[in-house]
Amino acid sequence: MSIRRVGLAVAVSVGSLAASATALEPKERVGLLDLQEFIAPELVPSSANVPLAEVLGELPNRAAWDTFLAERGDAAGEVQAFIDPRSGAASNLLVPFPLLPGDGVGNQITLDEIGATLGRPVPALDAATVAEVVYRFLLEHAAVLGIEPAELGPVSAVPVHDQLWQVSAPQRVGELPVRDARLVATIVHGNLVAVGTQTWGRVRLDPAPALDAEQALAAGFDLAGGRATADLLVRAPRLEVAPVAPLEHQAGEAFVGPVGAGYRHRLVWSFVFQREPDLANWEVLVDAHDGEVLALQDLNQYVQRGFTGGVYPTTSTEVCPTPGTCGIMQSGWPMPYANTGFASPNNFTNSAGIYDWTAGTATTTLDGRYFRMQDVCGAISASSATGNIDLLGSNGQHDCTTPGFGGAGNTSASRSGFYELNRIAEQARGWLPANSWLATQVTSNMNINNTCNAFWSPGAGTVNFYRSGGGCRNTGEIAGVFDHEWGHGMDDNDAGGTLSSSSEAYADIAMLYRLQTSCIGHGFFLPPAGSCGLTADGTGRNADEDQTAGLHCDTDCSGVRDADWARHNPNTPDTALGFVCSACLASSGPCGRQVHCAAAPSRQAAWDLVARDLPAAPFNYDSQSAFLVGSRIFYTGSGNIGLWHNCVCGSSSDGCGATNGYMQWLAADDDNGNLTDGTPHMTAIHAAFNRHGIACASPAPVNSGCAGGPTTAPTLTVTPGNYQNALSWNSVPGASLYWVMRTEGHAGCNFGKARIATVAGNSYVDTQVANGRTYYYNVVAQGSSPACYTRVSTCVAGTPQLTTYALTVAVTGSGTVTSAPPGIACPADCTEDYVDGTLVTLSQAADPGWVFTGWSGDCTGAGACQVTMSAARSVGATFVPLRTLTVAVTGSGTVTSAPPGIACPADCTEDYVDGTLVTLSQAADPGWVFTGWSGDCTGAGACQVTMSAARSVGATFVPLRTLTVAVTGSGTVTSAPPGIACPADCTEDYVDGTLVTLSQAADPGWVFTGWSGDCTGAGACQVTMSAARSVGATFVPLRTLTVAVTGSGTVTSAPPGIACPADCSEDYVDGTLVTLSQAADPGWVFTGWSGDCTGAGACQVTMSAARSVGATFVPLRTLTVAVTGSGTVTSAPPGIACPTDCSESFVDGTAVGLTAAPDPGSFFVGWSGDCTGTGACNLTMSAARSVGASFDTMPFLDGFETGNTSRWSSAVP
Let me know if residue 601 belongs to a domain.
yes
Residue 433, phi then psi, degrees to nearest 5: -65, -20
Please indicate, yes or no, if residue 625 is contained in any of the structural domains: yes
* Cβ(655)–Cβ(695) below 8 Å: yes
The last residue of one of the domains, among 198, 229, 250, is: 198
| Same domain, residue pair 722 and 658 | no
Q: How far is Cα 769 from Cα 423, in angstroms, rounded to an integer?
A: 13
Q: Kindly indicate the confidence band of residue 376, based on its pLDDT and cuts at 50, 70 and 90.
A: very high
Query: Domain check: are 677 and 616 in the same one?
Result: yes
In a domain, 1068, yes or no: no
Co-location of 586 and 483 in the same domain: no
Q: Are residues 514 and 378 in the same domain?
A: no
Based on the fold, state whether residues 785 and 860 are members of the same structural domain.
Answer: no
Q: What is the pLDDT of residues 624-662, one digit of tens each?
A: 999 999 999 999 889 878 789 988 788 888 887 777 899
Helices (H) and strands (E) in the chain, counts: 17, 77
pTM listed for this prediction: 0.52
User: In this structure, what CATH number is given to the domain that contains residue 482?
Assistant: 3.10.170
The DSSP-derived string for 715-767 is PEEEEEETTEEEEEE---TT-SEEEEEEEESTTTTSSPPEEEEEESSSEEEE-
Q: Give pLDDT, residue 590.
A: 87
User: Domain holding 101: CATH number?
Assistant: 3.30.200
- Residue 162 has a pLDDT of 65
Q: Over 50: is that where the pLDDT of 7 sits?
A: no
Instruction: Tell me, yes or no, whether 915 lies in a domain.
Output: no
Q: pLDDT by residue (tens digit) across 165-211?
A: 778 899 999 999 999 888 878 786 788 867 888 889 999 999 999 99
Residue 254 has pLDDT above 90, yes or no: no
Q: Are residues 387 and 517 in the same domain?
A: no
Q: Is 337 inside a domain boundary? A: yes
- Per the rule left: phi > 0, alpha: psi between -120 and 50, beta: everything else, 1015 is beta
| Within-domain flag for 264 | no
Which domain range does residue 840 map to?
A: 804-880
**Phi, psi (5° rounding) for residue 487?**
-60, -35
430 contacts: CB under 8 Å, gap ≥ 6:
741, 754, 755, 756
- Helix (H/G/I), strand (E/B), else coil: 1160: coil
Same domain, 130 and 191: yes
Q: Is 502's pLDDT higher than 80?
A: yes
Q: Are residues 809 and 747 in the same domain?
A: no
DSSP string, 314-367: S--SS--SSGGG--SPEEEEE-TT-B-SS-TTSSB--TTSEEEE-SS-EEE-SB
Q: Tell me, yes or no, whether 746 and 849 share the same domain.
A: no
pLDDT at residue 1, as a whole number: 26
Mean pLDDT computed over 753-765? 95
901 located within any domain: no
- If asked whether residues 523 and 444 sit together in one domain, one would say no
Report the pLDDT value the prediction gives residue 188, as an integer from 0 to 100.
66
| DSSP, residue by residue, 621-635 | --HHHHHHHHHHHHH
pLDDT at residue 484, as a whole number? 95
- Given 143, 176, 198, the domain boundary residue is 198
- Sorting pLDDT into bands at 50, 70 and 90, what band is 401? very high
Q: Is residue 667's pLDDT more than 90?
A: no
C-alpha to C-alpha distance for 779 and 737, rounded to whole angstroms: 10
Q: Looking at the predicted structure, is the pLDDT value of residue 275 above 80?
A: yes
Nearest-CA neighbor of 967 among 1022, 995, 1009? Answer: 1009
The strand pairing partners of 1012, in sequence order, are 1032
Q: Is-cis flag, bond preceding 570, omega within 30?
A: yes
What is the Cα–Cα distance from 927 to 594, expressed in whole angstroms?
115
- Report whether pLDDT(12) > 60: no
What are the residues whose beta carbons fall under 8 Å from the beta carbon of 164, sequence distance 6 or more? 186, 187, 188
Q: Which of the 8 DSSP states describes residue 609?
A: I
CB-based contact 441:532 (threshold 8 Å): no
pLDDT of 30 reads 42
Pair 548, 661 in one domain: yes
Read off the pLDDT of each residue in 390-415 and give the average, rounded to a whole number. 95
What domain count does the chain have? 6
Q: Is the N-terminal amide bond of 983 cis, ω within 30° of 0?
A: yes
Q: 77-118, pLDDT tens digit by residue? A: 557 787 888 899 988 787 778 999 987 778 999 999 999 999
Q: List, for residues 598-626, the tens digit of each pLDDT value.
A: 999 999 999 999 999 999 999 999 999 99
Per-residue model confidence (pLDDT) at position 549: 83
One domain, residues 576 and 454: no
State yes or no: pLDDT of 164 exceeds 70: no
Supply the pLDDT for residue 501: 87
Instruction: Give the CATH number of the domain where residue 836 resides.
Output: 2.60.40
Residue 927, by phi and psi: left (phi above 0), alpha (psi -120 to 50) or beta? left
- Average pLDDT (879-900) is 94
Closest CA to 372 of 338, 329, 398, 333: 338
> How far is C-alpha 850 from the geometric centre of its chain's CA atoms?
44
Q: What is the 3-state secondary structure (H, E, C) of 800-831?
A: CCCCEEEEEEEEECCEEEEEECCCCEECCECE
Residue 40 half-sphere exposure toward CB, CA atoms < 13 A: 18
Asked, for residue 1101, whether it belongs to a domain, the answer is: no
How many whole angstroms separate alpha carbon 864 and alpha carbon 177?
A: 12
In this predicted structure, what is the pLDDT of residue 82?
Answer: 77
Higher pLDDT, 7 or 298: 298
1165 — pLDDT class (breaks 50, 70, 90): very high
Is it the case that residue 147 has pLDDT exceeding 80? yes
C-beta separation of 243 from 178 below 8 A: yes
The DSSP annotation for 39-53 comes to E-GGGS-----EEHH
Q: 690-711: per-residue pLDDT in tens?
A: 999 999 988 899 999 899 999 9
